[in-house]
Protein backbone atom coordinates (compact mmCIF):
# COMPACT_ATOMS: atom_id res chain seq x y z
CA UNK A 1 0.00 0.00 0.00
CA UNK A 2 1.27 3.50 -0.84
CA UNK A 3 2.40 5.43 2.22
CA UNK A 4 2.02 9.10 3.16
CA UNK A 5 5.09 11.27 3.77
CA UNK A 6 3.12 14.10 5.38
CA UNK A 7 -0.31 15.01 6.74
CA UNK A 8 -1.88 18.46 6.35
CA UNK A 9 -1.92 19.81 9.92
CA UNK A 10 -2.56 23.57 9.64
CA UNK A 11 -6.09 24.98 9.40
CA UNK A 12 -5.33 26.44 5.96
CA UNK A 13 -3.90 23.20 4.56
CA UNK A 14 -6.81 21.10 5.84
CA UNK A 15 -9.41 23.62 4.67
CA UNK A 16 -7.75 23.65 1.23
CA UNK A 17 -8.11 19.86 1.04
CA UNK A 18 -11.83 20.15 1.87
CA UNK A 19 -12.29 22.77 -0.87
CA UNK A 20 -10.41 20.68 -3.46
CA UNK A 21 -12.65 17.72 -2.67
CA UNK A 22 -15.74 19.88 -3.08
CA UNK A 23 -14.54 20.94 -6.54
CA UNK A 24 -14.02 17.29 -7.55
CA UNK A 25 -17.50 16.35 -6.36
CA UNK A 26 -18.95 19.26 -8.31
CA UNK A 27 -17.18 17.99 -11.42
CA UNK A 28 -18.58 14.51 -10.85
CA UNK A 29 -22.11 15.92 -10.78
CA UNK A 30 -21.53 17.87 -14.01
CA UNK A 31 -20.26 14.73 -15.77
CA UNK A 32 -23.12 12.63 -14.40
CA UNK A 33 -25.89 15.00 -15.50
CA UNK A 34 -24.26 15.43 -18.92
CA UNK A 35 -24.47 11.66 -19.38
CA UNK A 36 -28.09 11.67 -18.14
CA UNK A 37 -28.98 14.13 -20.92
CA UNK A 38 -27.84 11.52 -23.44
CA UNK A 39 -29.15 8.45 -21.60
CA UNK A 40 -31.90 9.05 -19.01
CA UNK A 41 -31.71 5.43 -17.83
CA UNK A 42 -28.29 5.94 -16.18
CA UNK A 43 -28.57 5.41 -12.41
CA UNK A 44 -26.84 7.33 -9.63
CA UNK A 45 -24.60 4.37 -8.80
CA UNK A 46 -21.64 5.61 -10.85
CA UNK A 47 -21.99 9.08 -9.32
CA UNK A 48 -21.96 7.62 -5.80
CA UNK A 49 -18.91 5.51 -6.67
CA UNK A 50 -16.99 8.53 -7.98
CA UNK A 51 -17.95 10.76 -5.05
CA UNK A 52 -17.16 8.05 -2.50
CA UNK A 53 -13.73 7.53 -4.06
CA UNK A 54 -12.88 11.25 -4.06
CA UNK A 55 -14.20 11.88 -0.54
CA UNK A 56 -12.41 8.85 0.91
CA UNK A 57 -9.12 9.70 -0.80
CA UNK A 58 -9.29 13.22 0.62
CA UNK A 59 -10.22 12.13 4.14
CA UNK A 60 -7.49 9.50 4.05
CA UNK A 61 -4.93 12.23 3.44
CA UNK A 62 -6.33 14.34 6.28
CA UNK A 63 -6.64 11.44 8.75
CA UNK A 64 -7.91 12.26 12.26
CA UNK A 65 -11.45 13.40 13.01
CA UNK A 66 -12.33 13.84 9.32
CA UNK A 67 -11.64 10.17 8.59
CA UNK A 68 -13.09 9.09 11.95
CA UNK A 69 -16.47 10.60 11.09
CA UNK A 70 -16.51 8.65 7.81
CA UNK A 71 -15.73 5.50 9.79
CA UNK A 72 -18.59 6.25 12.19
CA UNK A 73 -21.00 6.79 9.31
CA UNK A 74 -20.05 3.45 7.73
CA UNK A 75 -21.51 1.61 10.75
CA UNK A 76 -25.02 2.84 9.94
CA UNK A 77 -26.21 0.88 6.91
CA UNK A 78 -29.21 3.14 6.43
CA UNK A 79 -27.30 6.44 6.51
CA UNK A 80 -25.32 6.20 3.28
CA UNK A 81 -25.59 4.71 -0.20
CA UNK A 82 -23.74 1.38 -0.47
CA UNK A 83 -20.82 2.88 -2.40
CA UNK A 84 -20.02 5.26 0.46
CA UNK A 85 -20.49 2.61 3.15
CA UNK A 86 -18.15 0.17 1.39
CA UNK A 87 -15.48 2.80 0.83
CA UNK A 88 -15.72 4.38 4.29
CA UNK A 89 -15.43 0.98 5.96
CA UNK A 90 -11.81 0.99 4.79
CA UNK A 91 -11.19 3.69 7.41
CA UNK A 92 -11.61 1.00 10.07
CA UNK A 93 -8.24 -0.62 9.38
CA UNK A 94 -7.15 -0.07 5.75
CA UNK A 95 -6.36 3.62 5.41
CA UNK A 96 -3.07 4.63 3.71
CA UNK A 97 -0.32 4.45 6.38
CA UNK A 98 2.37 6.96 7.27
CA UNK A 99 5.88 6.46 5.95
CA UNK A 100 8.64 5.02 8.15
CA UNK A 101 10.56 8.32 8.69
CA UNK A 102 7.46 9.98 10.19
CA UNK A 103 6.99 7.04 12.56
CA UNK A 104 10.61 7.25 13.70
CA UNK A 105 10.18 10.99 14.21
CA UNK A 106 7.25 10.36 16.57
CA UNK A 107 9.34 7.98 18.71
CA UNK A 108 12.25 10.41 18.81
CA UNK A 109 9.93 13.19 19.96
CA UNK A 110 8.24 11.30 22.80
CA UNK A 111 10.83 8.72 23.89
CA UNK A 112 14.07 10.35 22.78
CA UNK A 113 14.85 7.04 21.07
CA UNK A 114 14.10 5.34 17.78
CA UNK A 115 11.68 2.37 17.79
CA UNK A 116 14.66 0.12 16.97
CA UNK A 117 16.29 1.22 20.23
CA UNK A 118 13.15 0.54 22.29
CA UNK A 119 12.27 -2.86 20.81
CA UNK A 120 14.32 -5.90 19.84
CA UNK A 121 12.83 -5.48 16.37
CA UNK A 122 10.29 -3.08 14.86
CA UNK A 123 8.60 -3.30 11.46
CA UNK A 124 8.54 0.20 9.95
CA UNK A 125 5.83 -0.74 7.46
CA UNK A 126 2.46 -0.54 9.23
CA UNK A 127 0.42 -3.73 9.51
CA UNK A 128 -2.80 -1.75 9.32
CA UNK A 129 -3.87 1.88 9.51
CA UNK A 130 -7.10 3.53 10.64
CA UNK A 131 -8.35 7.06 11.31
CA UNK A 132 -6.40 8.10 14.42
CA UNK A 133 -3.31 5.92 14.19
CA UNK A 134 -1.63 2.90 12.63
CA UNK A 135 -0.34 -0.39 14.06
CA UNK A 136 3.16 -1.84 13.72
CA UNK A 137 4.54 -5.26 14.59
CA UNK A 138 7.38 -5.32 17.10
CA UNK A 139 9.18 -7.90 19.24
CA UNK A 140 10.65 -7.59 22.71
CA UNK A 141 11.90 -10.36 25.00
CA UNK A 142 10.41 -12.94 22.64
CA UNK A 143 6.91 -11.40 22.72
CA UNK A 144 5.14 -10.27 19.57
CA UNK A 145 3.69 -6.82 20.17
CA UNK A 146 1.24 -4.43 18.51
CA UNK A 147 2.46 -0.84 18.64
CA UNK A 148 -0.16 1.80 17.86
CA UNK A 149 1.35 5.07 16.66
CA UNK A 150 -0.84 8.17 16.45
CA UNK A 151 -0.72 10.36 13.35
CA UNK A 152 1.02 13.74 13.84
CA UNK A 153 -1.28 16.72 14.40
CA UNK A 154 -4.47 14.66 14.88
CA UNK A 155 -5.27 15.98 18.36
CA UNK A 156 -4.61 19.61 17.37
CA UNK A 157 -6.85 19.50 14.29
CA UNK A 158 -10.04 18.05 15.83
CA UNK A 159 -11.74 21.31 16.79
CA UNK A 160 -10.92 22.98 13.46
CA UNK A 161 -12.10 19.94 11.47
CA UNK A 162 -15.43 19.84 13.27
CA UNK A 163 -15.96 23.54 12.64
CA UNK A 164 -15.50 22.90 8.91
CA UNK A 165 -17.89 19.93 9.00
CA UNK A 166 -20.57 21.68 11.07
CA UNK A 167 -22.06 23.87 8.28
CA UNK A 168 -22.60 20.73 6.18
CA UNK A 169 -24.33 19.05 9.12
CA UNK A 170 -26.58 22.08 9.68
CA UNK A 171 -27.60 22.07 6.01
CA UNK A 172 -27.87 18.30 5.66
CA UNK A 173 -29.92 17.76 8.83
CA UNK A 174 -31.91 20.98 8.58
CA UNK A 175 -31.22 21.90 12.20
CA UNK A 176 -30.42 25.08 14.06
CA UNK A 177 -26.71 25.63 14.62
CA UNK A 178 -27.21 25.72 18.41
CA UNK A 179 -28.77 22.23 18.30
CA UNK A 180 -25.94 20.86 16.18
CA UNK A 181 -23.44 22.34 18.66
CA UNK A 182 -24.90 20.09 21.34
CA UNK A 183 -23.90 17.02 19.34
CA UNK A 184 -20.62 18.26 17.88
CA UNK A 185 -19.39 19.07 21.39
CA UNK A 186 -20.08 15.45 22.36
CA UNK A 187 -18.18 14.17 19.31
CA UNK A 188 -15.31 16.57 20.02
CA UNK A 189 -14.99 15.34 23.62
CA UNK A 190 -14.87 11.69 22.56
CA UNK A 191 -12.38 12.36 19.74
CA UNK A 192 -10.07 14.33 22.03
CA UNK A 193 -10.16 11.43 24.48
CA UNK A 194 -9.26 9.03 21.66
CA UNK A 195 -6.07 10.98 21.00
CA UNK A 196 -4.97 10.66 24.64
CA UNK A 197 -3.17 7.31 24.68
CA UNK A 198 -2.37 7.67 28.41
CA UNK A 199 -6.12 7.73 29.04
CA UNK A 200 -6.69 4.82 26.65
CA UNK A 201 -3.98 2.81 28.41
CA UNK A 202 -5.64 3.38 31.80
CA UNK A 203 -9.11 2.50 30.53
CA UNK A 204 -7.86 -0.50 28.57
CA UNK A 205 -6.28 -2.04 31.64
CA UNK A 206 -9.20 -1.25 33.96
CA UNK A 207 -12.01 -2.45 31.67
CA UNK A 208 -10.08 -5.53 30.53
CA UNK A 209 -9.63 -6.55 34.16
CA UNK A 210 -13.27 -5.82 35.03
CA UNK A 211 -14.53 -7.90 32.07
CA UNK A 212 -12.02 -10.75 32.38
CA UNK A 213 -14.68 -13.06 33.90
CA UNK A 214 -16.83 -13.03 30.72
CA UNK A 215 -16.41 -16.31 28.79
CA UNK A 216 -14.70 -16.35 25.37
CA UNK A 217 -13.31 -12.82 25.54
CA UNK A 218 -9.58 -12.25 25.11
CA UNK A 219 -7.77 -9.05 26.08
CA UNK A 220 -4.14 -8.15 25.38
CA UNK A 221 -1.55 -7.30 28.00
CA UNK A 222 -0.54 -3.64 27.92
CA UNK A 223 2.95 -2.21 28.42
CA UNK A 224 2.99 1.21 30.15
CA UNK A 225 6.78 1.45 29.94
CA UNK A 226 6.54 1.24 26.13
CA UNK A 227 3.62 3.66 25.85
CA UNK A 228 3.16 7.43 25.95
CA UNK A 229 0.52 10.00 24.96
CA UNK A 230 1.01 9.18 21.25
CA UNK A 231 2.21 5.54 21.31
CA UNK A 232 0.42 2.54 22.83
CA UNK A 233 2.01 -0.91 23.10
CA UNK A 234 0.18 -4.19 23.78
CA UNK A 235 0.45 -7.89 23.01
CA UNK A 236 -0.25 -8.89 19.42
CA UNK A 237 -3.68 -10.54 19.25
CA UNK A 238 -4.44 -13.45 16.97
CA UNK A 239 -7.68 -13.53 15.05
CA UNK A 240 -9.55 -12.33 11.99
CA UNK A 241 -11.67 -9.30 11.30
CA UNK A 242 -15.35 -10.04 10.79
CA UNK A 243 -15.36 -10.23 6.98
CA UNK A 244 -12.37 -12.59 6.84
CA UNK A 245 -13.77 -14.65 9.68
CA UNK A 246 -17.11 -15.14 7.92
CA UNK A 247 -15.27 -16.22 4.78
CA UNK A 248 -14.05 -19.29 6.73
CA UNK A 249 -17.69 -20.41 6.96
CA UNK A 250 -17.76 -20.86 10.76
CA UNK A 251 -20.36 -23.15 12.32
CA UNK A 252 -23.54 -21.76 13.84
CA UNK A 253 -22.28 -22.80 17.26
CA UNK A 254 -19.14 -20.70 16.87
CA UNK A 255 -21.13 -17.74 15.52
CA UNK A 256 -23.49 -17.95 18.50
CA UNK A 257 -20.60 -18.26 20.93
CA UNK A 258 -18.89 -15.13 19.64
CA UNK A 259 -22.20 -13.27 19.48
CA UNK A 260 -22.94 -14.22 23.09
CA UNK A 261 -19.52 -13.02 24.22
CA UNK A 262 -20.03 -9.65 22.54
CA UNK A 263 -23.55 -9.24 23.96
CA UNK A 264 -22.38 -10.11 27.49
CA UNK A 265 -19.39 -7.78 27.11
CA UNK A 266 -21.59 -4.81 26.26
CA UNK A 267 -24.32 -5.69 28.75
CA UNK A 268 -21.83 -5.84 31.64
CA UNK A 269 -20.17 -2.55 30.68
CA UNK A 270 -23.42 -0.65 30.29
CA UNK A 271 -25.37 -1.96 33.27
CA UNK A 272 -22.55 -2.60 35.75
CA UNK A 273 -19.57 -0.40 34.86
CA UNK A 274 -21.76 2.43 33.48
CA UNK A 275 -19.10 3.08 30.83
CA UNK A 276 -18.90 1.40 27.47
CA UNK A 277 -16.58 0.63 24.55
CA UNK A 278 -18.51 2.92 22.18
CA UNK A 279 -16.69 2.07 18.94
CA UNK A 280 -18.22 -1.26 17.89
CA UNK A 281 -16.97 -1.41 14.32
CA UNK A 282 -15.55 -4.72 13.02
CA UNK A 283 -11.98 -3.42 13.02
CA UNK A 284 -11.93 -3.50 16.83
CA UNK A 285 -12.65 -7.22 17.17
CA UNK A 286 -10.53 -10.24 16.25
CA UNK A 287 -12.49 -13.46 15.88
CA UNK A 288 -11.13 -17.00 16.16
CA UNK A 289 -12.29 -20.38 14.89
CA UNK A 290 -12.57 -21.67 18.47
CA UNK A 291 -15.31 -19.11 19.23
CA UNK A 292 -13.22 -16.58 21.13
CA UNK A 293 -13.02 -12.88 20.30
CA UNK A 294 -10.24 -10.40 21.06
CA UNK A 295 -11.01 -6.79 22.03
CA UNK A 296 -8.23 -4.51 20.84
CA UNK A 297 -9.25 -0.86 21.14
CA UNK A 298 -10.54 1.12 24.12
CA UNK A 299 -9.93 4.55 22.67
CA UNK A 300 -13.60 5.56 22.50
CA UNK A 301 -15.25 5.07 25.89
CA UNK A 302 -18.60 6.65 26.75
CA UNK A 303 -19.18 7.21 30.46
CA UNK A 304 -22.94 6.95 31.06
CA UNK A 305 -24.36 9.55 33.48
CA UNK A 306 -26.85 8.12 35.99
CA UNK A 307 -29.40 10.82 35.17
CA UNK A 308 -29.37 9.59 31.55
CA UNK A 309 -29.01 5.86 32.23
CA UNK A 310 -32.26 5.45 34.17
CA UNK A 311 -34.72 7.17 31.78
CA UNK A 312 -32.99 5.69 28.71
CA UNK A 313 -33.26 2.10 29.87
CA UNK A 314 -36.66 2.50 31.49
CA UNK A 315 -37.93 2.85 27.92
CA UNK A 316 -36.97 -0.82 27.43
CA UNK A 317 -39.75 -1.66 29.87
CA UNK A 318 -43.08 -2.34 28.09
CA UNK A 319 -45.07 -1.36 31.19
CA UNK A 320 -43.41 2.05 31.16
CA UNK A 321 -44.15 2.55 27.47
CA UNK A 322 -47.84 1.92 28.21
CA UNK A 323 -47.92 4.51 31.03
CA UNK A 324 -48.49 7.81 29.22
CA UNK A 325 -47.72 10.04 32.23
CA UNK A 326 -44.44 8.32 33.08
CA UNK A 327 -43.47 8.08 29.43
CA UNK A 328 -43.96 11.81 28.90
CA UNK A 329 -41.73 12.57 31.90
CA UNK A 330 -39.02 10.25 30.55
CA UNK A 331 -39.21 11.84 27.12
CA UNK A 332 -38.64 15.25 28.70
CA UNK A 333 -35.73 13.83 30.71
CA UNK A 334 -34.24 12.44 27.48
CA UNK A 335 -34.78 15.79 25.69
CA UNK A 336 -37.04 14.17 23.12
CA UNK A 337 -39.85 16.50 24.12
CA UNK A 338 -39.16 20.21 24.62
CA UNK A 339 -40.80 22.71 26.95
CA UNK A 340 -42.07 24.88 24.08
CA UNK A 341 -43.62 21.94 22.17
CA UNK A 342 -47.28 22.31 21.30
CA UNK A 343 -49.71 19.55 22.26
CA UNK A 344 -49.67 18.51 18.61
CA UNK A 345 -45.86 18.28 18.70
CA UNK A 346 -45.95 16.25 21.91
CA UNK A 347 -48.46 13.80 20.49
CA UNK A 348 -46.56 13.35 17.23
CA UNK A 349 -43.06 12.91 18.66
CA UNK A 350 -44.30 10.75 21.52
CA UNK A 351 -45.87 8.41 18.98
CA UNK A 352 -42.78 8.34 16.76
CA UNK A 353 -40.29 7.70 19.57
CA UNK A 354 -42.53 5.12 21.22
CA UNK A 355 -42.56 3.14 17.96
CA UNK A 356 -38.80 3.51 17.61
CA UNK A 357 -38.26 2.42 21.20
CA UNK A 358 -40.44 -0.67 20.81
CA UNK A 359 -38.58 -1.71 17.69
CA UNK A 360 -35.02 -1.08 18.87
CA UNK A 361 -35.58 -2.69 22.29
CA UNK A 362 -37.36 -5.76 20.92
CA UNK A 363 -34.37 -8.06 21.60
CA UNK A 364 -34.67 -7.23 25.31
CA UNK A 365 -38.26 -8.47 25.48
CA UNK A 366 -37.39 -12.19 25.35
CA UNK A 367 -34.86 -14.62 26.80
CA UNK A 368 -33.29 -15.34 23.40
CA UNK A 369 -33.09 -13.41 20.15
CA UNK A 370 -32.12 -14.41 16.63
CA UNK A 371 -30.08 -11.53 15.20
CA UNK A 372 -29.87 -13.47 11.94
CA UNK A 373 -33.51 -12.54 11.31
CA UNK A 374 -33.18 -10.08 8.43
CA UNK A 375 -36.89 -9.25 8.64
CA UNK A 376 -36.20 -7.49 11.95
CA UNK A 377 -33.43 -5.37 10.46
CA UNK A 378 -35.47 -4.62 7.35
CA UNK A 379 -38.18 -3.33 9.69
CA UNK A 380 -35.67 -1.00 11.34
CA UNK A 381 -34.39 0.31 7.99
CA UNK A 382 -37.95 0.74 6.71
CA UNK A 383 -38.88 2.82 9.76
CA UNK A 384 -35.78 4.96 9.25
CA UNK A 385 -36.68 5.46 5.60
CA UNK A 386 -40.26 6.42 6.50
CA UNK A 387 -39.13 8.89 9.15
CA UNK A 388 -36.67 10.53 6.75
CA UNK A 389 -39.59 11.35 4.44
CA UNK A 390 -42.04 12.43 7.16
CA UNK A 391 -43.03 16.08 6.73
CA UNK A 392 -43.09 16.94 10.44
CA UNK A 393 -39.56 15.64 10.94
CA UNK A 394 -38.16 17.19 7.78
CA UNK A 395 -39.58 20.60 8.74
CA UNK A 396 -38.55 20.43 12.40
CA UNK A 397 -35.57 22.62 13.25
CA UNK A 398 -35.14 21.11 16.71
CA UNK A 399 -32.72 18.29 17.56
CA UNK A 400 -34.53 15.60 19.52
CA UNK A 401 -32.65 13.57 22.10
CA UNK A 402 -29.94 14.05 24.71
CA UNK A 403 -26.34 14.37 23.52
CA UNK A 404 -25.67 11.13 25.41
CA UNK A 405 -27.90 9.18 23.01
CA UNK A 406 -25.38 9.80 20.22
CA UNK A 407 -22.80 7.25 21.37
CA UNK A 408 -25.17 4.90 23.21
CA UNK A 409 -27.37 4.53 20.12
CA UNK A 410 -24.26 4.16 17.98
CA UNK A 411 -23.00 1.42 20.31
CA UNK A 412 -26.18 -0.61 20.07
CA UNK A 413 -26.52 -0.07 16.33
CA UNK A 414 -22.96 -1.23 15.73
CA UNK A 415 -23.41 -4.24 18.02
CA UNK A 416 -26.70 -5.22 16.35
CA UNK A 417 -25.08 -5.04 12.91
CA UNK A 418 -22.19 -7.29 13.93
CA UNK A 419 -24.60 -9.79 15.49
CA UNK A 420 -26.68 -9.70 12.31
CA UNK A 421 -23.59 -10.39 10.16
CA UNK A 422 -22.74 -13.29 12.47
CA UNK A 423 -26.35 -14.55 12.23
CA UNK A 424 -26.03 -15.11 15.97
CA UNK A 425 -28.86 -16.51 18.09
CA UNK A 426 -28.10 -15.60 21.69
CA UNK A 427 -29.39 -15.46 25.26
CA UNK A 428 -30.33 -11.89 26.19
CA UNK A 429 -28.59 -11.24 29.48
CA UNK A 430 -30.01 -8.10 31.13
CA UNK A 431 -30.89 -6.63 34.53
CA UNK A 432 -34.18 -8.10 35.79
CA UNK A 433 -35.68 -4.69 36.49
CA UNK A 434 -35.71 -3.83 32.79
CA UNK A 435 -38.91 -5.83 32.34
CA UNK A 436 -40.44 -5.65 35.83
CA UNK A 437 -43.72 -3.83 36.44
CA UNK A 438 -42.22 -0.90 38.28
CA UNK A 439 -45.11 1.55 37.77
Residue ranges of domains in the chain:
11-92, 240-439
Secondary structure in 3-state letters for the chain: CCCECCCCCCHHHHHHHHHHHHHHHHHHHHHHHHHHHHCCCCCCHHHHHHHHHHHHHHHHHHCHHHHHHHHHHHHCCCCCCHHHHHHHHHHHCECCCECHHHHHHHHHHHHCCCHHHHCCEECCCCCEECCCEEEEEEEECCEEEEEEEECCCHHHHHHHHHHHHHHHHHHHHCCCHHHHHHHHHHHHHHHHHHCCHHHHHHHHHHHHHHCCCCCCEECCCECHHHCCCCEEEEECCCCECHHHHHCCCCCHHHHHHHHHHHHHHHHHHHHHHCEEECCCCHHHEEECCCCCEEECCCCCEEECCHHHHHHHHHCCCHHHHHCHHHHHHHHHHCCCCCCCCCHHHHHHHHHHHHHHHHHHCHHHHCCEEECCCHHHHHHHHHHHHHHHCCHHHHHCCCCCCCCCHHHHHHHHHHHHHHHHHHCCEEECCCCHHHHCCCC
C-beta of residue 434 within 8 angstroms of C-beta of residue 364: yes
What's the distance, CA 413 to chain centroid?
A: 9
Q: 281 burial class (0-12, 13-18, 19+ CB within 10 angstroms)?
A: buried
The phi and psi torsions of 112 (rounded to 5 degrees) equal 75, 15
Q: What is the pLDDT of residue 23?
A: 44
Cβ pair 217, 293 in contact under 8 A:
yes
Percent of the chain with pLDDT over 70: 72
For residues 222 and 233, is the Cβ–Cβ distance under 8 A? yes
**CA-based nearest residue to 401, from 356, 344, 433:** 356
pTM: 0.80
Task: Write down the pLDDT at residue 375.
Answer: 93
pLDDT for position 81 = 52
Of residues 137, 142, 149, the one with CA closest to residue 236: 137
- Which neighbouring-strand residues pair with 232? 148
User: Torsion angle of alpha carbons 417, 299, 234, 219, nearest 10°?
Assistant: -40
Contact, 74 vs 85, CB < 8 A?
Answer: yes
| Low-confidence stretches of the chain (pLDDT beneath 50) | 23, 25, 28-30, 32-33, 35, 38, 73-80, 83-84, 87, 90-93, 172-173, 439
Amino acid sequence: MKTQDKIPTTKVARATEFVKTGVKIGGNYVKHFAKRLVDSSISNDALHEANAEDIYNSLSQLKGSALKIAQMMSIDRSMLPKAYKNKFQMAQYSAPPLSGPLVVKTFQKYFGKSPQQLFDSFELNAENAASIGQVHVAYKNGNKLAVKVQYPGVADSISADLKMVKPFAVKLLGLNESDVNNYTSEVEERLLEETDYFLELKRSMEISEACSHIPNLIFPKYYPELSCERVLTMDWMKGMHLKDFLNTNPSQQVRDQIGQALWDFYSFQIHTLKQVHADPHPGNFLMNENGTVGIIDFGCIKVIPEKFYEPYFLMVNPYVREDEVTKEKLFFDLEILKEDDTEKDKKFFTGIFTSMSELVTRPFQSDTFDFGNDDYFNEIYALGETLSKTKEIKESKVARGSRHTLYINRTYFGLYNILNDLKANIFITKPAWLLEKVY
